[in-house]
Amino acid sequence: GIYSSPHAAVALPADPLLDLVSFIFSHCRHNDAPNTSSSSAVALLDSASGHSISYQDLFPLVKSTASALHKLGIRNGDVVLLLLPNSIYFPVAFLAVLYSGAVVTPMNPLATVVEIEKRIADCGVRFGFASPERATALRDSPLGIPFVAVPELSSDSFLFDAFRGMIARDVDSDFTPPAGIRQQDAAAIIYSSGTTGASKGAVLTHGNLIAAVELFVRFEASTYDFPPWENVYLDVLPMFHIYGLVLFAAGLLSLGSTIVVMKKFDVDEAIKVIERHGVTHFPIVPPILGPLVERAKGVCENGLKSLKQVSCGAAPLSGSTIQHFLNTFPHVDLIQGYGMTESTAVGTRGFNTQRFQKHSSVGLLAPNTEAKVVDCINGHALPPGGIGELWMRGPGTMKGYLNNPETTTETVDKDGWLRTGDIVCFDNDGYLYIFDRMKEMIKYNGFQIAPADLEAVLITHPDVLDAAVTGATHKDAGEIPVAFVVRRQGSNLSEEGVIKHVAAQVAPYKKVRRVVFTEGIPRSPAGKILRRQLRNMMMFTPTP
């Protein structure tokens, strides 16, 4: 009943004393050839301004920034908050924190002060990176940690601008971590709703991230029949999310590919950028695919010639959208991938699917990764064709949830199996298909929302007696959060009032988008919200 990866095992570095940054730059081919045209190759390029960081400059910049952090007193194990939109400096900040021995916790840059306060308290953040506007505002708030402002453009003075007034200018571009960093040390704490409850910090180690870079990014590139350093990737995916982080702030930099960074996705702009920079690879989430096909058709009959591959994941992709894409772009490979925060994005990827025509599958298990499909009723591991919960095991599996041993043992069992909360099935060729999600998580445009986080906010409204949240399918966003609210007697709280109350306290993507007033929330005898029943209630409530 155990599925192993059909790919040959990949040898992962055995040295216990190894950090992600040293791993990345020891593999980056441009580092081997200093002062050649190869080392001036562009690593990161800002799509709007054309500002860029070359491979020659990247590692020294990471080392200087790590040295600046060290001078500020950041030490092994300290937690640093990255409250950053996509920019060419996101990877610099991320890798520098890791190289200083500290741990990154990334967060949506639109997070509210309440959410940031919670994060700081939960993982003991000591220091933050934010956009200039955010950093200024947060310095005056009572958060109690210093924030560095990361400029978005000026490549020459990045360090000086960022650390202005905090440290002397003399930073060390040959900095090495003074205290050794081990593969088993924490590198990132990324929040996820897991299978149930409020969002919690998944602790990912340097070893987890090295495994992800090898098994997800570098392995895939090894199957191409063209050199990965000639590839140009367009990044519209947020690097604060595991999918964008592993690809754009780590894996692709080890391959020497060029990454064109877009701060915010806009379909027309993306099409222009693809044409302008000869983009070859475009990793996306499902809500982007439909508009891309629609707009691209209008722009140029058989355009986007440079494009070789579009890869899609983080949420389900509809069959009709896939067909539409294939008809419009017969020259482009469309693959799906599957992974999760708790597996450091390691999971499955489609390979050569144009040839195999299995576009609705999320692909084959990554190397060194095993899976079981567990019958939801009797717990038996099922053969191909059987539908049940996916359990995965491999070197990407997180260390555990921060300060949460109980939820950790519920999620990763003593044999190392990670319960994904996804309902899936394998076919006879080892291709995985995702059917449903049994966990509570809502995915809005590919972003996670934990219903329990919104319930905690709803219940603070004085007119709300009880509340529950679940997801409803939505044609553009995939899913939207819907709140079920029991009002206090005599209250005339409106749908708009509920939506506003939540919106004031959460990042915009988490906003409640529909409200159903009800007499009571269905609960089990143990007090657990019966979410399936909520979904049934929704079917009988007319959409306004």
Q: Which of 42, 252, 340, 418 binds ligand 4UW (CB under 6 A)?
A: 340
Collapsing DSSP states into helix, strand and coil, what is residue 231? coil
Q: Report, in this order, helix, strand and coil percent for the chain, each rounded to 5.
A: 30, 25, 45
Give the Å distances, CA to CA, from 141 to 116, 137, 144, 146: 11, 7, 8, 11
Q: What token pair was written down for 118?
A: 């919670």
Using DSSP's 3-state secondary structure scheme, residue 339 falls into coil
* For ligand 4UW, the closer CB: 181 or 245: 245
- The two three-digit tokens of residue 381, written as one number: 């591991």
Helices (H), 170-301: 206-212, 219-222, 242-246, 252-255, 267-277, 286-299
Query: How far apart are CB 347 and ligand 4UW at their closest, in Å?
Result: 6
Other beta carbons within 10 angstroms of residue 199's beta carbon come to: 22
Binding region for ligand 4UW (CB under 6 A) out of 107-115, 305-313, 323-331, 352-360 = 305-313
Q: What is the smallest separation between the CB atom of 238 and ligand 4UW, expressed in angstroms?
A: 11
Q: Is 367 in the site for ligand 4UW (CB under 6 A)?
A: no
Q: How far is the CB of 3 from ligand 4UW (least distance, A)?
A: 17
The least distance separating ligand 4UW from the CB of residue 78, rounded to whole angstroms, comes to 25
* Interacting residue with ligand 4UW among 104, 362, 457, 537 (CB under 6 A): 362
Alpha carbon 300 to its chain's center = 32
Q: Which stretch in 50-58, 143-151, 312-320, 456-464 sits in contact with ligand 4UW by CB under 6 A?
A: 312-320
Which one of 37-45, 257-265, 309-317, 501-509 is the stretch in contact with ligand 4UW (CB under 6 A)?
309-317
Amino acid at 310: V
C-alpha–C-alpha distance, residues 89 and 451, integer Å: 32
Candidate residues 279, 382, 392, 434; the one interacting with ligand 4UW per rule CB under 6 A: 434
Per rule CB under 6 A, is residue 119 in the interface with ligand 4UW?
no
Show Cβ contacts of residue 542 under 8 Å, excluding neighbours closer than 6 positions. none
Using the contact rule CB under 6 A, the part of the chain among 58-66, 255-263, 340-348, 510-518 near ligand 4UW is 340-348
Closer residue to ligand 4UW, CB minimum distance, 207 or 238: 238
Q: How is residue 22 written in tokens? A: 């040293």
Binding flag, residue 374, ligand 4UW (CB under 6 A): no
- Closest CB to ligand 4UW among 70 and 241? 241
For the bound state, the minimum distance from the C-beta of residue 336 to ligand 4UW, rounded and expressed in Å, comes to 5
Distances in Å between the Cα of 447 and the Cα atoms of 314, 467, 478 are 8, 22, 10
| Listed residue (292, 220, 289, 207) closest to 257, CA to CA | 220
Residue 307: CB atoms within 10 A of its CB come to 21
**Interacting stretch for ligand 4UW, rule CB under 6 A, among 30-38, 330-338, 495-503, 522-530?**
330-338
Task: Please give the single-letter amino acid code of residue 212.
Answer: A
Closest distance of CB 1 from ligand 4UW, Å: 21
Q: Does 194 bind ligand 4UW (CB under 6 A)?
A: no
The HSE-up count of residue 467 (CA atoms within 13 Å, CB side) is 29
Q: Within positions 445 to 474, which residues make up the interface with ligand 4UW, using CB under 6 A?
A: 448
418 binds ligand 4UW per the rule CB under 6 A: no
Write each residue from 197 to 226 as x if it is in contact with ligand 4UW (CB under 6 A), else as -, in one continuous string. -------------------x----------
Sites for ligand 4UW among residues 239-258 (CB under 6 A): 242-243
> Which of residues 177 and 363 has its CB atom nearest to ligand 4UW in the complex?
363
What is d(CA 493, CA 344) in angstroms, rounded to the nearest whole number?
A: 42
Q: Calculate the CA dihedral of residues 214, 215, 221, 223 and round it to 10 degrees.
A: 130
Residue 65 CB partners (closer than 8 Å, separation 6+)? 92, 93, 96, 158, 159, 162, 171
Q: How far is CA 22 from the centre of its chain?
A: 22
Q: Give the one residue of 19, 422, 453, 455 binding ligand 4UW; rule: CB under 6 A.
A: 422
Q: What are phi and psi for residue 388, nearest 5 degrees?
A: -165, -165
Q: How far is the CB of 215 from ligand 4UW (least distance, A)?
A: 10
| Residues near ligand 4UW, by CB under 6 A | 192, 216, 242-243, 311-316, 336-341, 345, 347, 349, 362, 420, 422, 434, 437, 443, 448
